[in-house]
Amino acid sequence: MAKLGKFEVLDHPLIQHKLTIIRNENCGTREFRQVVNEIAELMAYEVSRDMPLEDYEVKTPITKTVQKRLAGKKVVIVPILRAGLGMVDGILELIPAAKVGHVGMYRDEKTLKPTEYFVKMPDNLASRDIFIVDPMLATGGSAIMAVDALKKRGAVNIKFVCLVAAPEGVKALRDAHPDIDVFAASLDDHLDENGYIVPGLGDAGDRLFGTK
């Protein structure tokens, strides 16, 4: 039987402080981009806590000793385009050897249903630890479709990492994919009538890339 995934809010004081900075409507594109990456880096530290280690012999200037190093499994960071791109560099600061796959999705403004428009993944997904990243988990439609796309290509070990989650999205994602771990920097209150997270931070893609 597949393992049961968990949902965890990573509410370290530094993460909460930085999230407040980007929630502010007066935070400009440059600062928004910078701080999203900083939060992603802090989250990666927690998300990678259960990465497997193996024994490794190393010779210090004093003696030979058996210590630990990360075991073979390679991490793949998978941003959901566009907004997920804003989290990639921050995670690469901590895990520089990670590979990066891409999943392109956009959400229809009226129906709120996602459409997949691009998928490019490294090979051997089944043997890799995959971090899907997207700042926003709103209805959950995009996240569910992204996990579907990865599982279809053989992925087994999947974590979903977002900054702001709505309760509706967390429930939908966990109902659809109970085996994956879901991490958020904040569990917000609800979705408004346009499918935006309240209080949220607005449209993450537009704020990251200066579009609208």
Ligand X SMILES: O=P(O)(O)OC[C@H]1O[C@H](OP(=O)(O)OP(=O)(O)O)[C@H](O)[C@@H]1O
Residues at the contact surface with Mg ion, assessed by CB under 5 A = 203, 205
Residue 170's CB is within 10 A of a number of other CB atoms, namely: 20
DSSP strand pairing (53-59 vs 64-70): antiparallel
Residue 141 assigned ligand-binding role: yes
Residue 15 touches ligand X, criterion: CB under 6 A: no
Report how far apart, in Å, the C-alpha atoms of 75 and of each of 48, 51, 91, 105 are.
9, 9, 11, 22
Whole-angstrom Cα distance, residue 61 to residue 121? 42
Binding mask 177-196 for ligand URA (x = CB under 6 A): ------------------xx
Residue 69 assigned ligand-binding role: no
* Residue nearest ligand X (C-beta atom): 205
Q: Among candidates 172, 139, 197, 153, which has minimal Cα distance to 7?
A: 172
Residue 140 touches ligand X, criterion: CB under 6 A: yes
Distant-in-sequence, close-in-space partners of 199: CB < 8 Å, separation ≥ 6: 23, 188, 189
Q: Among candidates 161, 150, 155, which has minimal Cα distance to 128?
A: 155
Residue 112 touches ligand X, criterion: CB under 6 A: yes
**Which residue in the set 138, 146, 180, 208 belongs to the binding site for ligand URA (CB under 6 A)?**
138
| C-alpha gyration radius of the chain | 18
Nearer of residues 86 and 155 to ligand X, judged by Cβ: 86
**Which residue in the set 80, 136, 162, 208 belongs to the binding site for ligand URA (CB under 6 A)?**
136
Residue 121 touches ligand URA, criterion: CB under 6 A: no
Residue 200 touches ligand URA, criterion: CB under 6 A: yes
Nearer of residues 92 and 105 to ligand X, judged by Cβ: 105
Question: Least distance (Å) from Mg ion to the CB of residue 202?
Answer: 9
Query: Hey, what are 20's tokens?
Result: 């407040």
- Residues 132, 138, 141, CA angle at the centre, nearest 5°? 65
Binding residues for 5-phospho-alpha-D-ribose 1-diphosphate are 82, 107, 134-142, 203
Residues within the interface to ligand URA (CB under 6 A)? 83, 136, 138, 195-197, 200, 203-205
Residues within the interface to ligand X (CB under 6 A)? 80-83, 105-107, 112, 114, 134-143, 169, 195, 203-205
